[in-house]
Amino acid sequence: MIERRSLLGGMAALGLLASLAAHGQPPRGRFRIGVLAIGTPEGATAVTNAFNQAMRELGYVEGTNVVYEYRWAPGAPDRLPGFADELVQTVPSR
């Protein structure tokens, strides 16, 4: 149950940030969003589908103007900080 709550909470936070950033303006460029979860992709199918649908409704279409970078750590929340560091390292410098 904790895994599902963590995943839902993380995705809700991402959705909220995206909606605040997108409010009143069309998306520009291609965005990368990192999603960290302690569940499994198979166990989170309904949640990820709902998240993707909500993002599409905000104008973010995967493969068109947004790319999702998922990192899964089933039952191992201690791995998430390393995954976050990994995602940050892949961001091109300006």
Would you call 44 helix, strand, or coil by DSSP? coil
Q: Is residue 67 part of a domain?
A: yes
Number of structural domains found in the chain:
1
Q: What pLDDT score was predicted for residue 33?
A: 94
Q: What pLDDT score was predicted for residue 67?
A: 94
Regions of the chain short of the pLDDT cut 50: 16, 19-20
Q: Is residue 94 part of a domain?
A: no
| CA–CA distances in Å: residue 31 to residues 10, 21, 50, 83, 85 | 18, 12, 19, 18, 18
Task: State pTM to two decimals.
Answer: 0.65
Q: Is residue 60 part of a domain?
A: yes
Q: Which domain holds residue 78?
A: 2-22+31-89
Q: Which two tokens stand for residue 27?
A: 């998306």
Q: What pLDDT score was predicted for residue 27?
A: 52
